[in-house]
């Protein structure tokens, strides 16, 4: 399983079901169940299914606030923003620690760690 690093306040919005699009600067081919990692915490705090990666224009971005919760396009510095679409998000009742590999800034490969989420 892969774990996606997400900063506050975005991770909390995702876990609360308020945010179903994670805006990133590139496409991802990863699909299926992933772990949600609160950046800087060393903890897996939830899971979700990553079902799609959609390139979006700034106009589309502005008209879909309810999906991504980013207040304005001034926060978007990507040349081609992508919406990574989540479904079936679940908060873990107890966060699970993991070993953060050096240099990981977006994804953490959790398959070699003995983690059950």
pLDDT for res 93: 97
Assess if residue 109 is contained within a domain: no
Q: Measure the CA–CA gap between 81 and 61, rounded to whole angstroms.
A: 9
Q: What is the pLDDT of residue 59?
A: 85
Cα–Cα distance, 90 to 59 (Å, whole number): 30
Is residue 59 in some structural domain?
Answer: yes
Position 80 scores a pLDDT of 87
Please give the Cα distance from 20 to 83 (Å, whole number): 9
Residue-wise pLDDT for 93-112, tens only, equals 999 999 999 999 999 999 98
pLDDT at 77: 76
On the question of pLDDT at 38 being above 80, the answer is yes
Residue at 106 is within a domain: no
**Residue numbers of the domain that contains 10:** 2-99
More confident: 74 or 49: 49
Which domain CATH number covers 85?
A: 2.30.130.30
Q: Residue 115 — φ and ψ, nearest 5°?
A: -120, 135
> What's the number of domains the chain is made of?
1
pLDDT attached to residue 73 = 67
Task: Report the predicted TM-score, pTM, of the whole model to 2 decimal places.
Answer: 0.93
Distance CA 47, CA 3 (A): 9
């Amino acid at each position: 399983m892969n774990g996606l690093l997400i900063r506050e306040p975005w991770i909390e919005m995702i876990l609360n079901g308020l945010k179903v699009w994670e805006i990133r600067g590139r496409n991802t081919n990863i699909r299926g169940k992933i772990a949600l990692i609160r950046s800087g915490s060393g903890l897996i705090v939830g899971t979700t299914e990553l079902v799609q990666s959609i390139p979006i224009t700034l106009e589309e971005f502005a008209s879909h606030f309810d999906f991504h919760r980013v207040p304005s396009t001034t926060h978007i510095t990507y040349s081609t923003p992508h919406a990574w679409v989540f479904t079936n998000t679940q908060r873990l009742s107890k966060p699970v620690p993991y070993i953060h590999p050096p240099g990981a800034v977006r994804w953490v490969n959790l398959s070699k760690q003995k983690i059950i989420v």
